[in-house]
Structure formats: structure tokens, C-alpha cells
Structure 1
């Protein structure tokens, strides 16, 4: 009887025997978009590419879930060349002095089917602050993973408070991560 129950569980609920799945970020298909309002409501934006990192999801034990992302500031492209230059300069990101931005999760909490709340630390200009991402994962058991997440930060919290009278402090962040499964050794 117990044997039949185990077989039934494996056939009906393959996730019951799930193990942690590790993924590597697909640099060519991952983007991060920043957006904010300036000059009384004009929407401005910038994107980062060249993102690297890894994602581990364990359906049976969420404390094993882990996301680590590194973003090269030099890849920043804004809506125009002047804004790109300003954002990379010492007015904002200081790309020469601080060449990377890093996110490391501390906890990934399942909210509902495919929805997660990701707690972690975002480090910009060597200033680390806690952030919470609202994330949606498409098929967490697939060979390739699609993770979309959003959050918002205060640019002043990261020492980027230039032009405070004309540029909003709130920066919305949209993350679109594509991954590939890490081959087993």
C-alpha cells in the first residue's frame, strides 16, 4: 500500500521530489530598465545590459533560494546621449569609480503560483540598502527560466541626489532575467 502511494505521488506530483534547480543568467537576453519623472512629469529611462549572475530555486525549502546579480554600469544607455553621459558621470553612478551594481537576495518567499517576494541588498556606489522585489517566475522547473521583477528605490539613498528640484527621487526598476540551467557536473 505504501509503495502504491509513493508511486502515485511521483506520477501525480513530480514536484514532491523536486530538488534545487540552479540557473545562470543569460547575459544576452537579460535587461534592467530604470524609469523616473523629471521636469514636472516627463518620463525618462535608462537600461543596463551585460547582466551576469545566478539563480537557485528549491521548491521544497525556500531558504535555499538565492539570486545574485551583477550589473556593469558601463552598459547603461539612456534615452539620449547627454543623459547617458550624465548618468555615468560623478553626478550619478560614477561608472569609473564604481563599475558594478550588485543585488544579493537574502530570502525568496513564494506568494502564489509563480509569484515571489524577493528580499535582498542592492549595492550602488558602494552603498548597500535593503530592497524588496516583486517577482514573477515562469515555470520554475523549466530548463530556461524567465524571471520578471519590479521594485523602486530612492536615488538619494544611494548618494545620487543631484537635480533634486527637477528630477523625482523615486526610481522604478523593471528587471527581465532570462536564464539557462547550470549543467550538472
Structure 2
């Protein structure tokens, strides 16, 4: 009986340690969305979704400063729900997706910002132009994802950028230069065999 109690305690400790230790999670594109919103001539506030997101998040709750984020967002995943507008956004008037097919973000620093809050500093590259941005981030949940049976982490983040800083300022200021970006992401530790590839 005593051995069984000791074994159970050891397993519980090991399980807790697994989630407390720094882990690298692969972003799940099926549960990740990047949403951009702006003002159109003062009349409306359209949005566009950026899907097919790929990347990794390394998160260490005990040493937040060692956490990292690296993300690639293909413009092929752009979807405003208006096909003609999507085509226009991908054209040389805006993203010039043929020449610059992806948006990337790579963190340079992560710091704690209160209960379940982080500030993620990094370099955002859009249209071939790289600028520093800060993501105000909420930690939604860290633990076992019950469907995948593996460690997972979920975050929401927001930032506001000036699109003219990245060379996509057409029609500003009538169409707002400021673009608000909202991100929700779920990321899961890869399977052992996948991690080796």
C-alpha cells in the first residue's frame, strides 16, 4: 500500500513537472486565427482573417524571459469573406503577395505583465519591411489538451500597427492607417516522432 502511494505521488510530481518545465509547442492552425480590423471612410470597421498560421511557441512559466515565439503567416490564408477584396489585398496595391508571400513574427523579448499577462516584443515583417511591435498577451490555459492527450498552451494577443510603416498605406488616412490585430492561438507539444523530423 505504501509503495502504491509513493508511486502515485511520484507520477503526479512528474506530471506537474512536465507542464511546469519550459516546453515548445507547435501552433495548431485549426485553432489559431489572426484578425486585422480597420476603419473604412468612417462608415464601417471591416475585418480580415489570416489563417494557415505556422510556427512554434516556447513558454517557460518559471522563467518567462526565456520564452520565444516564431510565426509564419502565409497570405494564401487571407480571407475577408469577399473574394474580390482578398484579390485586391494580395495585389501590388497592398501586400504584393506574389513578391512577399508571407508575414512573419519573431520575438526578441518576453516579459511578465501581471496575472496571466505577458508582453511579447518582436520583429514583424510585412511586405518585406521589418518593424518592432509589442503583443499584449493573455495566457488562456496551459495543461493537457484532452483530445490530443499532450501538453498544450493557449494565448490571446493584441497590438496596433500603422500599415504605412510597412509600405501598405494606400488610401490612408481615408481608410485608417491604424490596424488593430487580434490573435487567438492554441499550440500543442508535437508527438515524439514528429519532433524528430
User: Which TM-score bucket, shorter chain as reference?
Assistant: 0.7 to 0.9
Could you tell me how far apart the structure 2 residues matched to 1:126 and 1:98 are? 6
The equivalent position to 1:126 in structure 2, one of 102, 120, 128, is: 128
1:94 counterpart = 2:102: no
Hey, what does 2:167 align to over in structure 1? 159
1:67 counterpart = 2:72: no
The number of equivalent residue pairs is 174
Could you tell me how far apart the structure 1 residues matched to 2:95 and 2:164 are? 12
Residue 18 (structure 1) shift: 3.1
Conserved in 2, the CA contact under 8 Å of 1:62 and 1:107? no
Conserved in 2, the CA contact under 8 Å of 1:136 and 1:149? yes
Residue 166 (structure 1) shift: 2.1
CA RMSD in angstroms, aligned pairs only: 2.0
| Structure 1, gaps ≥5 residues long | 1-6
Q: 1:19-168 to 2 correspondence within 5 Å?
A: 19-142=21-144, 143-168=151-176
Could you tell me how far apart the structure 2 residues matched to 1:151 and 1:104 are? 15
Could you tell me how far apart the structure 1 residues matched to 2:157 and 2:175 are? 24
Residue 165 (structure 1) shift: 4.1
Conserved in 2, the CA contact under 8 Å of 1:151 and 1:172? yes
**Poorly superposed stretches of 4+, deviation over 4 Å:** none
Residue 79 (structure 1) shift: 4.2
Residue 182 (structure 1) shift: 2.7
| Structure 2, gaps ≥5 residues long | 1-8, 145-150
Could you tell me how far apart the structure 1 residues matched to 2:81 and 2:47 are? 6
